[in-house]
């Protein structure tokens, strides 16, 4: 069938909206009419060629829409159902079977090659293959093919125009706090960087009932937003030495934060985060970009501290997204306040606004 899709023809080129031929759904596939799709920094990294993608490829990995058709093996959704797409995974490896799908052993192939597991491309342009399984979805498009592995059903009246923004960066920030790190009553949490990931972590820490939630950034309007979302302290780092910021975190948390989430990937910031931890505290990283981090073993050992990685929200999104939706319904996770909508045709502007920080979470509507 004919679809409109934003194609990355080669590394660095702006996305171009083209007419493509999308395959008919196979027995295990679901055809979804895309209504909204979030924009994430990973789309930009893929567009620039910083990730192992193969061009031409349709990007987009936070899609949401209405099921139009389902292959005969599909049992969990039917035409008319509304769904959010999640990052795909293999479903068979050890980590998928344990429920830790963000750590899937096949993650590179499933996420970036842009083909089905058998190597077929899902879409064509003038008879030539176009990769259309980025994150198992390629949802910068009017229609997309997905599988039961990477859809989460939502209620018929679910507002997809902002819910589409829930499934990657928001889930990453919230999942780090809710699934992987101690953050409840009696704890202090610090979040470094208040973009979509960081602000989601702030909301999650507030929802968990952390005593102190410290937001750290150099952009005043983001810090103001963090405070309005429940952060108890907002630390502006602009023009300050890292050691000075570390000392302030230690002071406002009464001796160091129990939990610190770094969203910057900056090695000096990660080193400072470890220094700002309480005894038995844990610092986490959520991005693989950035230069090596240097930490003296004693900085960890003598205080019983940990530094760890937390990927993609840490658990299977089909389990975790409903939990976030429930928190949102109860007013405890107002992530819609981060979202700004753009028409699909303005995909390049939405990406640029995300990078510049003008918009925290762009969501395209189709
Ligand atoms: Zn797997
Ligand atoms: Zn993403």
Query: Rounded CA gap, 139 and 144, in Å?
Result: 6
**Which bound ligand lies closest to the C-alpha atom of 164?**
2
Sequence ranges of the chain with CATH classification 3.90.180.10: 2-168+314-365
Q: Which fold has domain 173-309?
A: Rossmann fold (3.40.50)
**Residue 350: Cβ-neighbour burial (10 angstroms; 0-12, 13-18, 19+):** buried
CA of 93 to the centre of ligand 1 (A): 4
Report percent pLDDT > 70 for the chain. 100
CA 171-283-272 angle, 5° bins? 125
| Residue-wise burial string across 269-288, b where 16 or more C-beta atoms lie within 10 A, e elsewhere | bbbbbbbbbbeebbbbbbbe
For 138-162, what is each residue's pLDDT tens digit? 999 999 999 999 999 999 999 999 9
Q: Distance (Å, rounded) from C-alpha 212 to C-alpha 189?
A: 6
Q: CATH class for domain 2-168+314-365?
A: alpha beta
Q: Which helix (H) or strand (E) holds 58?
A: strand 57-58
Secondary structure of residue 255 in the 3-state scheme: coil
CATH 3.40.50.720 residue ranges for the chain: 173-309
- The pLDDT tens digits along the chain (366 residues) read 999 999 999 999 999 999 999 999 999 999 999 999 999 989 999 999 999 999 999 999 999 999 999 999 999 999 999 999 999 999 999 999 999 999 999 999 999 999 998 999 999 999 999 999 999 999 999 999 999 999 999 999 999 999 999 998 999 999 999 999 989 999 999 999 999 999 999 999 999 999 999 999 999 999 999 999 999 999 999 999 999 999 999 999 999 999 999 999 999 999 999 999 999 999 999 998 878 999 999 999 999 999 999 999 999 999 999 999 999 999 999 999 999 999 999 999 999 999 988 999 999 999
Report which DSSP code applies to 164. Answer: G
Ligand with smallest separation from the Cα of 62: 2
CB count within 10 Å of CB 97 equals 11
What ligand is nearest to the CA atom of residue 173? 2
Q: Residue 60: phi, psi to the nearest 5?
A: 100, 120
- 242-252 and 267-275 helices, crossing angle to 10°: 30
Name residues with Cβ closer than 5 Å to ligand 2, which is an ion. Answer: 40, 42, 168
Whole-angstrom CA distances from 241 to 31, 46, 269, 277, 293 are 52, 33, 11, 18, 18
Q: Which of 226, 201, 195, 194 is nearest to 310 (CA)?
A: 201
- Helix, strand, or coil (residue 222): helix
How far, in Å, from the CA of 321 to the mean position of ligand 1? 19
Give helix 220-228 / helix 196-208 axis angle, nearest 10°. 30
Contacts of residue 188, defined as CB under 8 A and 6 or more positions apart, other chains included, come to 210, 211, 212, 213, 214, 253, 254, 256, 257, 258, 259, 278
pTM to 2 decimal places: 0.95
DSSP 134: G
Residue with token string 């780092």: 237
Q: Give CA–CA dist 357/255, Å, rounded.
A: 32
* Spatial distance between the Cα atoms of 297 and 172, rounded to a whole number of angstroms: 28
Report the distance separating Cα 13 and Cα 25, nearest Å: 30
CA of 252 to the centre of ligand 2 (A): 32
Structure token digits, residue 229: 């979302």
* 97 CA distance to ligand 2 middle (Å): 23
Quote the ligand 2 centre to 170 CA distance (angstroms). Answer: 9
163 vs 186: CA distance, rounded Å: 31
Rounded to whole angstroms, the Cα distance separating 248 from 260 reads 14
């Amino acid at each position: 069938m004919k679809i409109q899709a934003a194609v990355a023809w080669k590394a660095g080129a702006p996305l171009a909206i083209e007419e493509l031929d999308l395959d008919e759904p196979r027995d295990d596939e679901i055809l979804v009419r895309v209504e909204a799709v979030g924009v994430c920094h990973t789309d930009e990294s893929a567009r620039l060629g910083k990730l192992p993608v193969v061009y031409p490829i349709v990007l987009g990995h936070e899609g949401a829409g209405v099921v139009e058709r389902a292959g005969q093996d599909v049992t969990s959704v039917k035409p008319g159902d509304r769904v959010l797409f999640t990052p795909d995974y293999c479903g068979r490896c050890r980590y998928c079977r344990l429920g830790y799908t963000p750590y899937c052993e096949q993650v590179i192939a499933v996420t970036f090659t842009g083909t089905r597991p058998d190597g077929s491309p899902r879409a064509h342009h003038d008879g030539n293959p176009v990769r259309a399984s980025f994150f198992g979805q390629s949802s910068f498009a009017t229609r997309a093919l997905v599988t039961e592995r990477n859809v989460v059903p939502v209620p018929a009246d679910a507002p997809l125009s902002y819910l589409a923004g829930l499934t990657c960066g928001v889930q990453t920030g919230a999942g780090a706090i809710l699934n992987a790190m101690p953050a409840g009553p009696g704890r202090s949490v610090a979040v470094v960087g208040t973009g979509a990931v960081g602000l989601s972590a702030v909301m999650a820490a507030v929802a968990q009932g952390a005593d102190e939630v410290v937001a750290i950034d150099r952009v005043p309007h983001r810090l103001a937003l963090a405070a309005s979302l429940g952060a108890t302290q907002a630390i502006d780092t602009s023009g300050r030495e890292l050691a000075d910021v570390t000392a302030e975190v230690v002071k406002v948390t009464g001796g160091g934060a129990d939990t610190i989430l770094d969203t910057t990937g900056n090695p000096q910031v990660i080193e400072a985060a470890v220094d700002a931890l309480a005894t038995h505290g844990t610092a986490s990283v959520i991005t693989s970009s950035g230069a090596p981090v240097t930490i003296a073993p004693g900085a960890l050992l003598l205080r019983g501290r940990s530094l760890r990685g937390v990927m993609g929200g840490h658990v299977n999104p089909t389990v975790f997204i409903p939990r976030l939706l429930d928190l949102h319904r109860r007013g405890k996770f107002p992530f819609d306040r981060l979202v700004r909508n753009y028409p699909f045709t303005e995909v390049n502007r939405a990406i640029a606004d995300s990078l510049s920080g003008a918009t925290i979470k762009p969501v395209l509507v189709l």
